[in-house]
Amino acid sequence: MNSHPLPFCLFYQGGIWPYTEAWEQQRQLVEARLQDEQLSDVLLLLEHFPVYTLGTGSKLDFVKFSPEAADVELHRTERGGEVTYHCPGQLVGYPILNLRRHQQDLHWYLRQLEEVLIRLLAGYGLKGERIPGLTGVWVEGHKVAAIGIKVKRWITMHGFALNVCPDLTGFKRIVPCGIGDRPVGSLQQFLPDISLAQVREELPKIFGEVFQLEMIAQQNLLGEASGNPK
């Protein structure tokens, strides 16, 4: 039996955040860990006001509206992947992990993020599936979770977006993740009574199991850059 305590991961349950604020918060957390690799891992769980984001090499061909005349925010970010959409009812997870403590393997990391979501869905009796050659999680052919990451000197940022109970109409204005032949879905389609509060409560525990981390809840973000639980 392993008597060593698990490394800890601070997690913060936020409400609905402007995308740019969450983006800046991630950058600060990453920068702190580039300066001091001993700082703890962090997981932010948030929602966003309606916003479209592009990966670093995303094609504007997948955006069906004019960015110059858009009535909603559009940001090109440093993550991988194509265009996606965030809005309330979608749970967005931003893990700030030092992969030197886990595995220095980006494919492993992507599969682990998928595993967190697949285990979460299994708890609701849903079979989450991977599709070879693609990143994300599907249920009955509907993409319910998108993943896009950035890793700098093995410190991660960006992460996953799980459609729990969002208004999906915003996805009609893009080709989500550049995949035109597979529909976007939500957990609510399959589980009409599911709530975001349920998923928020259960996800950190599963995240800790998959990544072998002790999850420590934070009431606010103060102290997280220093890596000390508050």
- Listing DSSP states for 7-26 in one string gives PEEEEEEEEEE-HHHHHHHH
Per-residue pLDDT at 51: 97
Q: Tell which wins on pLDDT, 178 or 18.
A: 18
- Identity of residue 64: K
Residues with Cβ within 8 Å of 56's Cβ and at least 6 positions away in sequence, in order, are: 76, 77, 78, 79, 80, 150
Q: Could you report the per-residue pLDDT of 176-202, keeping only the tens digit for each?
A: 888 888 899 999 999 999 999 999 999
Residues carrying an active site annotation: 177
Average pLDDT over residues 50-62: 92
- Identity of residue 226: S
Average pLDDT over residues 166-180: 92
Q: Which residues pair with 11 in a beta bridge?
A: 43, 217
Beta-carbon-side half-sphere exposure of residue 42 (alpha carbons within 13 Å): 34
For residue 24, is pLDDT > 50? yes
For residue 48, is pLDDT > 50? yes
Q: What is the mean pLDDT of the chain?
A: 93
Per-residue pLDDT at 1: 45
For residue 131, is pLDDT > 80? yes
What tokens appear for 129 in the block?
């599936």
31: left (phi over 0), alpha (psi -120 to 50) or beta: alpha
**Distance, C-alpha 207 to centroid of its chain:** 11
Average pLDDT over residues 74-78: 95
Considering the segment(s) 8-218 as one domain, its CATH architecture is 2-Layer Sandwich (3.30)
Looking at the chain, list the stretches that DSSP marks H as alpha helix, in order from N- to C-terminal side.
19-35, 106-122, 187-190, 196-211
Per-residue pLDDT at 225: 54
What tokens appear for 197 in the block?
């509060």
Closest CA to 227 of 95, 37, 19: 37
Q: Name the percent of the chain lying above pLDDT 90.
A: 83
Ordered by start, the domain boundaries in the chain are 8-218
pLDDT band per the 50, 70, 90 thresholds, residue 71:
confident
